[in-house]
A and B are shown apart, each in its own frame.
Chain A
């Protein structure tokens, strides 16, 4: 039986296989220079930013990972899709390729990115 609740994580249609090696090298040396900022809070690199609560309350419960990649993921319109959203780092994608699929182990976004505002619970 095919699982019916597999989310559509393929946020880009084209996988450029020949770029894999080059991208991996890039992944080692060209991580985003700018630090993530949410709710005017700046995070050190490597530390997952919390979700700003003012416009994220209840999104995880109602939409799950689809609600996250719908803005923070990649498609032909941009990376991130929503220009005001924080970009999902490349290391969250299979082989670091944001043209491809989100790494399945990283689909539980809430486990690293909880809400940061107590008034939202």
Chain B
């Protein structure tokens, strides 16, 4: 037997788990002989090994889970998973404990008196029938009366089939687009960037680029805390590679800055000026790749002077309504617009030395260096988030470094299935599955074909619904009467909670909006719920996540949910069954048309077991990316009757049959069948190698133009030319003032996941970071008479909170800058965070609120 590192790590992982379960010897042998895709199965002592995926960040780490007597006893990294190769971070190793908090929700809860909202009390236990009937009655009544006042808020932490099913219910069953998700607050700017530029959502590269690049540039990304395993991967390459460099562009020095060769601390919002100066430098010094631009790129300009979305009516202002408009431009026009962005100008705006910006520009332009740009919330949660996404792509386009091994811009995703569930499934108010848009007639016809709906049925939802901030703003004003959320904790994660939690007299809508929450633990959000549905979490059911590299992985059911907690899909189907009772689609029963293939409405149960139910849902969902599976869809995809602008190229996102993922653990789409085997695509649009080696050979041959410059063919863009859009620097929505002199930025820490509702229940993680802290510059603190550990009052135009201040250097803040994570619901830091959003993506800028700080 060949001993490889993978074998060793896997053997060790299984061995550890078996040891924990009291069967070290047997486990070790099973682990030593286990090969990729072969589950160890049950051992003699009843311990069983399952394939899983971490349920925290967007890295999508595969894990090996051992369960015994209905409980998870061990979690280890899965060396067979291509995304993490056996590594975990501390959250991943303690995953098993998140299931066993003492206060798991095990029975449905009902609130009879809405005046008790916002308190610890007021919820009573109920039967499932009572809770389901109540919710269904409220939803159906409001739906019949005025469906513009219902809303569904989903999550990038739902498995794919759950997101798919709930979207189908809301959009096709209720004909409502008032469905959005927390990925709006996380990845929407990246999404709009992808769609505007490439006509397809998700990056062209993959995590393997982390092993291949010569230079890494992090733009507003604290990977060491927010994507720790990916940070370890690229740091391993940096430490072991010859001359590998890292430039870190950030507003606050972080752990990610610690090992960087150059840290460029810039003034908030000035990243666009820096990026444009890099472009200008490359242009002025003739360092661009002329042939790449000639063969592959189209130039555009967009609406400018957008203002900011402070007011509820912003979207309908001239600037707001035209925010996403673009017009063609010439190269000369583009050059002229970049010309003012000299190194000196960018330095003046950003505070970054001109020499550092020049050094980075040279790094991008060096034809002998492969370069990878990595970004996350610093770029996306930005009042010009889509613009900044464009700016990064512009740099890569100029030098022709994209979609090649070790070369390319790479947007890091925040949540475990923000890509798979929110984006690929279409949990947005303007989207349908697989990147399709409600506003596009061809897309609606295609969706109708797969969902077996009459032609024209989805025309009722051709107008986008309410995006996230709009939904909560309307709710706060009493204009939303029914809100259902699942797998998120919006009462902690949303911005401007002072308004949304009804803490201002003019915004009391939360108290009159009938609120339903699918949850696993009591949270701040359940304190505002009228009904709480207890549901299964993580590996208490089978599911699928799609991570940041177009990578789909499955997780098996390893144990039962506690008490009376249900699988979310059963909750949604039981509500659908009640709300759609007697409704027709065409001449057919509405519920049976939509869900009859999986659910027996008379038996109130699934027709098959959980795996088969998931498989059936997956096979329907993957028809969107496999049009050959449905003749009607196939004809629409090909634009066979010439009715539409052209072919849709839906195979660009091709997914494999469900069981393939159980054989191979994980696959990066588009997944292509080659000689009977399904193989992933690592570098999309690139046919410079074989499909088996991860290149997009089949995609380019079938939908693109082989033989183009650089072996690239961007076949999802209508004219096969991605858009290079000039975007100017426009200042942040707020600037520090005498009244609010500090910049305040919020984000994540390594030890806690988002709002802390899970990780604060894991004793080791809570012990590591038990309290939310605001990080300050030591000189600033001293001037205010604040010592490390003092309680302070932090106020913004939106509200105020009390929190403990620290000058520790985990976040090394320059004078005038502060940072706090948002996991601590006792602090509720988002009470002070602005709720204005990017005009195109509608994603909130969580990074640039201005605050004042006083000793409490």
Contact = CB atoms under 8 A, between A and B. Distances in A.
Going nearest first, the 8 A-B pairs with the smallest beta carbon separation are A104-B236, A1-B243, A28-B28, A29-B28, A46-B16, A91-B12, A28-B11, A114-B768
A37 B239 CA distance: 31
Contact of A105 (B17, B19, B29, B85): B85
A24 B7 contact: yes
A1 B261 CA distance: 13
B571 interface: no
Nearest to A43: B764
A111 B768 contact: no
Interface string B83-106: 001011110011000000000000
B5 interface: yes
A114 B751 contact: yes
B12 A7 contact: no
Interface stretch (B224-232, B381-389, B714-722): B224-232
Contact of A28 (B32, B240, B809): B32
Given A24-B7, A121-B806, A108 B768 contact: no
Contacts of B506: none
B240 A113 contact: no
A57 B74 CA distance: 29
A69 interface: no
Contacts of B9: 91
B800 interface: no
Interface in A8-25: 20-21, 24-25
| Interface size grouping (class) on chain B | 35 or more
A94 interface: yes
Contacts of B15: 27-29, 31
Contact of B32 (A25, A90, A104, A110): A25
Which of B14, B255, B764, B808: most chain A Cβ within 10 A? B764
A111 B89 CA distance: 6
Contacts of A2: 242-243
A115 interface: yes
A20 B4 CA distance: 10
Nearest to A46: B16
Contacts of B810: 61, 121
Contacts of A112: 88-90, 93
Contacts of A6: 239-240
Contacts of A87: none
10 contacts: A1-B242, A3-B238, A3-B239, A3-B243, A29-B25, A29-B29, A43-B764, A111-B90, A112-B88, A112-B93
Interface in B714-754: 750-751
Interface of A: 1-3, 5-7, 20-21, 24-25, 27-29, 31, 43-48, 50, 61, 64, 90-91, 94-96, 103-108, 110-118, 121
B25 A118 contact: no
Given A27-B15, A44-B20, A45-B20, A20 B240 contact: no
A94 B5 contact: yes
A27 B771 CA distance: 38
A24 B11 contact: yes
A105 B235 CA distance: 7
Contact of A116 (B13, B232, B240, B764): B764
A82 to B, nearest CB: 22
B244 A107 contact: no
A95 B809 contact: no
Given A27-B12, A46-B16, A114 B750 contact: yes
Interface in B1-39: 3, 5, 7-9, 11-17, 19-20, 24-25, 28-29, 31-32
A3 B764 contact: no
B93 A48 contact: yes
Contact of B90 (A21, A64, A114): A114
Contacts of A106: 87, 232
Contact of A111 (B8, B13, B750, B809): B750
B542 to A, nearest CB: 23
Interface string B601-624: 000000000000000000000000
Given A5-B259, A20-B3, A47 B8 contact: no
B643 interface: no
Q: Taking each of B15, B31, B224, which has the highest tally of chain A beta carbons within 10 Å of its own beta carbon?
A: B15
A95 B11 CA distance: 11
Contacts of A95: 3, 5, 8
Contacts of A116: 764, 767-768
Contacts of A96: 8, 12
Contact of B12 (A21, A28, A61, A108): A28
A27 B90 contact: no
B464 interface: no
Contacts of B771: 118
Given A27-B15, A28-B12, A45-B74, 13 more contacts: A2-B243, A5-B259, A28-B29, A28-B31, A31-B16, A46-B13, A47-B764, A104-B237, A104-B239, A105-B236, A111-B231, A111-B750, A114-B90
B25 to A, nearest CB: 6
Contacts of A121: 769, 773, 806, 808, 810
A107 B235 CA distance: 8
B503 interface: no
B761 to A, nearest CB: 15
B565 to A, nearest CB: 25
Interface in B624-650: none
Contacts of A115: 768
Contacts of B751: 114
Given A113-B90, A121-B810, A108 B224 contact: yes
A89 to B, nearest CB: 8
Nearest to A91: B12
A76 to B, nearest CB: 24
Nearest to A104: B236
Contact of B768 (A27, A50, A90): A50
A113 B768 CA distance: 9
A50 B15 CA distance: 22
B19 A45 contact: yes
B18 to A, nearest CB: 9
Contacts of B12: 27-28, 31, 90-91, 96
B337 interface: no
A2 B32 CA distance: 38
Nearest to B808: A121
Contact of A108 (B25, B28, B235, B809): B235
B233 interface: yes
Nearest to B30: A28
Nearest to B85: A105
A118 B770 contact: yes
A108 B228 contact: yes
A15 to B, nearest CB: 14
Contacts of B321: none
B191 interface: no
B17 A27 contact: no
A113 B89 CA distance: 9
A50 to B, nearest CB: 6
Given A2-B243, A108-B228, A115-B768, A64 B258 contact: yes
A60 to B, nearest CB: 9
**Residue among A3, A103, A110, A121 facing the most chain B CB atoms (10 A cut-off):** A121
Nearest to B4: A95
A45 B17 CA distance: 8
A121 B821 CA distance: 14
A114 to B, nearest CB: 4
